[in-house]
Every structure is written in C-alpha cells, then in structure tokens.
A = this chain, B = another copy of it.
Amino acid sequence: MTENEEVKHIVREKDDHVVYIGPKPFMNYVTGVVMQFTTQGAKEVNIKARGKFITRAVDVAEVAAKRFLEGQIKVKDIKIDSEGFKNKEGRDVRVSTIDISLVKA
C-alpha cells in the first residue's frame, strides 16, 4: 500500500468520520484526522480506541487540535466505557474504551 492508501485504510470505509487508533505509526492517525476535516469536509470526527491505545487516542486528538489545526477544531465530547469478554483462557476480562469527538471550532 502507498502511504495515502494506508491513511485511507485507517479511516474505515463504512463510517468516514471515525478514526480507530491502533499500532501503526503515530502520524498516520494524526493525518487521518486532519484529512477528514481538510479534504473530506467532515464537521465532526470521532477518535476511538480500546485498552492500551487510549493514551495514544488522546495524543492524536491533542496533536491534531493544538498543532495541525490549531484554532480550527476543538474537543466536543469525550466518552469512556468498558467491554467485558472472555479471553482465550476463558477468563472474564474487561477492556476500557474511549471515544473523542472533535468538531470544527
């Protein structure tokens, strides 16, 4: 994949305005968020993450809002939640989630 294709891939096809945070290079996610606002005309972008990627979601939101689109976007709302499920060993585990909503300022 080219870098552009990779960024498109991070912003899932079905919901153009959600960026899911994972283990790819940090700037891919920042670019994903910024592009949604600048070239895709999004009025609102949701940054979502689970477990250890939650810190990264906050970093992506902060870098997008304070460095790349300073004064142009702001945090509208932040939701946290948790999901319970059984892991491979059959134990009940819980993972936290975050959903950061950014909007045009």
Q: Interface of A with B (CB < 8 Å)? A: 51-55, 58-59, 61-63, 66, 75, 78-82, 94, 96, 98, 100
Contacts and interface: CB of A to CB of B under 8 A. Distances in A.
B55 A80 contact: no
Contacts of A61: 80
A96 B53 CA distance: 13
A30 to B, nearest CB: 12
Contacts of A59: 82, 96
Given A75-B80, A100-B80, A55 B62 contact: no
Contacts of A94: 62-63, 66
Nearest to A63: B94
